[in-house]
Amino acid sequence: MSSNLPNGAQAMVRLLRAHGVEHIFGLCGDTSLPFYDALFQEGAGITHVLTRDERSAAYMADGYARVSGRVGVCEGPSGGGATYIAPGLVEANESSVPVLAITTDIATTSRGRYALTDLDQQALFRPLTKWNSVIDSAVLLPRAVRAAFRAMTTGRPGSAHLGLPFDVQRAPVDAGEIWGDAALGRYPAWPCSPDPRSIEALFEALASARSPVIVCGGGVVISGAEAALAALARTLDIAVATTVSGQGSLAHSQPQSLGVVGSNGGVPATRAALEQADLVWFIGCRAGSVTTERWRFPRPGTRIVHLDVDPMVIGANYATEVAVCGDARLALEALLAVLGEHDGKLPAFGGAALGERTRVAKRAAFEPLAASDDSPVRPERLVRELSAALGDDAVLVADPGTPCPYVSAFYDIRTPGRSVFSNRAHGALGYSLAAAIGASYARPGAQVVSVMGDGSFGFTCGELETAVRTARPVTFVVVSNASYGWIKAGQKAGFGARYFAVDFNRTEHAAVAEAFGVRSWKVDDPRRLRAALDAALAHDGPSLVDVVCQPLHEARAPVSEWIA
């Protein structure tokens, strides 16, 4: 081949551009030198964001993908870099978020010779991703990249991994093979309609129900089905609940909205709505342990219909009367068309009335705590002030510990779409700060807020330097209670309050953030909280508010196992 042919690293960059990639989050290493040189020479139109940790790179790509609707791309070097990037890939895959990780590797000729950072990347990433390949030949590189994008964005979206050995990065690639489909850089690509017979069966099931409830998972927002769902809720007056991942499927201002159900963010009133339902319709939802409180609600024997793009999800946990396999938006639009043909046949189901009863019960439990001037600050007060301070188009990213149940239960989602999210598939600490940085690249100009516990802050505070260097207008809120609060609350609820290895020293998070160059405030008086949040949100760069909060084991968190 001619020496003028692009090498593997250059081909990788060109293929990313061909698929519409505009941002890459990552961290350099010895095995990445050819790839970084290719980004320098060929990366026009791609913004590379240097991170301080490969885990953070993957979480930034995840947040970027959730908010932008594009594939999120992260990269890292061999050895420890590959192992550090793995947590973000498994979270993205289980959350149906297309994140591509490119990990460079030692040369293929060095394998098995005790080379530094030698690692079987193919085996490492196989159980963590939807698609995975270590590219052992430059000839195979273009096809592998195209296959990764097809896998990530079609069917049920998921993560992918490409291993790029050092010698493959330097080997020539046929320029005629360097092409891609930009449509596969967004998701869902190539959505599939369900069998019309399953839509008719779904209609008949609904026609025979008296008090059905819809439970939406992340599939509604992923497919862009929010408008169709809102129209269906109005047409049938059917109650709609969501999972933690399904937040944003329906605005809370719509009368039929129940909010989040399940053991994390659900409350007794939302559980009661599922208990009274004679038919539960899961949409884009796996009906997993959190959503169903370990498969207790809906109760066994409740009629179940299930719509999902992944056939393996349907019927996995509940006997299913009607299975509808396909894209959620296309399926709901098809059902609306059928409803139009059967005008007047289906009754109104009283969803607005059920929604109002549920909201009244929620407010009765929430408002007294949210209005409290007690110190430490009640978590409910923090959520109320955030809801009031943030605009309708704000993006809020909640870490899975203390913030998640409170945000899920009580934060007001005023517009449909991806405005609130948390990493609830695997629930690793340290997600929110990095994911919010990624989200800020996806939605420039929007308010972006990360809410994290102080345990999570310890995992990820190094990325505050990234936020300052890149001038990200993100506000970070730390819920400071000097403990791994979720575990401590579990020890109280289930292990006789025998607290062990869950407490740590209180950190002056505002001082730490100021040392990185982040404008910061500390709040221990709830009467000062709103002013601090307003000032932080008005700041034209990264800001942080350190809130000294009531610890979870002393609070009334909306977590069913602790309430019980």
Q: Tens-of-pLDDT digits for all 564 residues of the chain? A: 446 899 999 999 999 999 999 999 999 999 999 999 999 999 999 999 999 999 999 999 999 999 999 999 999 999 999 999 999 999 999 999 999 999 999 999 999 999 999 999 999 999 999 999 999 999 999 999 999 999 999 999 999 999 999 999 999 999 999 999 999 999 999 999 999 999 999 999 999 999 999 999 999 999 999 999 999 999 999 999 999 999 999 999 999 999 999 999 999 999 999 999 999 999 999 999 999 999 999 998 999 999 999 999 999 999 999 999 999 999 999 999 999 998 867 788 999 999 999 999 999 999 999 999 999 999 999 999 999 999 999 999 999 999 999 999 999 999 999 999 999 899 999 999 999 999 999 999 999 999 999 999 999 999 999 999 999 999 999 999 999 999 999 999 999 999 999 999 999 999 999 999 999 999 999 999 999 999 999 999 999 999 999 999 999 999 988 876
Rounded to a whole number of angstroms, the distance between the first and last alpha carbons of the chain is 70
Q: Which amino acid, residue 109? A: T
- pLDDT on residue 3: 62
Distance of CA 254 to the CA centre of its chain: 23
Of the candidates 349, 357, 384, the one whose C-alpha atom is nearest the C-alpha of residue 268 is 357
**Contacts of residue 19, Cβ cutoff 8 Å, sequence gap at least 6:** 71, 145, 149, 180, 181, 182, 184, 185
Buried b (16+ CB within 10 A) or exposed e, 142-159: bebbbebbbbbbbbbbbb
Report which DSSP code applies to 429.
Answer: T
Report which DSSP code applies to 158.
Answer: -
What is the rounded distance in angstroms from the CA atom of residue 89 to the CA atom of residue 93? 6
Of the candidates 373, 375, 379, the one whose C-alpha atom is nearest the C-alpha of residue 401 is 379
User: How big is the chain, counted in residues?
Assistant: 564
Of the candidates 487, 498, 489, the one whose C-alpha atom is nearest the C-alpha of residue 562 is 489
H or E, element range at 536? helix 529-538
| Residue 214 zone, left/alpha/beta (φ > 0; ψ -120 to 50; rest) | beta
What is the rounded distance in angstroms from the CA atom of residue 269 to the CA atom of residue 374? 26
| Residue 43 zone, left/alpha/beta (φ > 0; ψ -120 to 50; rest) | alpha
**Contacts of residue 467, Cβ cutoff 8 Å, sequence gap at least 6:** 437, 474, 476, 516, 518, 542
- pLDDT on residue 564: 61
- pLDDT on residue 114: 96
Of the candidates 437, 454, 564, 485, the one whose C-alpha atom is nearest the C-alpha of residue 25 is 437
What is the rounded distance in angstroms from the CA atom of residue 105 to the CA atom of residue 120? 10
What is the rounded distance in angstroms from the CA atom of residue 93 to the CA atom of residue 109? 31
**Contacts of residue 532, Cβ cutoff 8 Å, sequence gap at least 6:** 521, 523, 545
Q: How far, in Å, are 382, 430, 451, 478, 480 from residue 528 at the CA level?
A: 11, 27, 18, 15, 16
Read off the tokens for 314.
């349907």
What is the rounded distance in angstroms from the CA atom of residue 100 to the CA atom of residue 541? 28
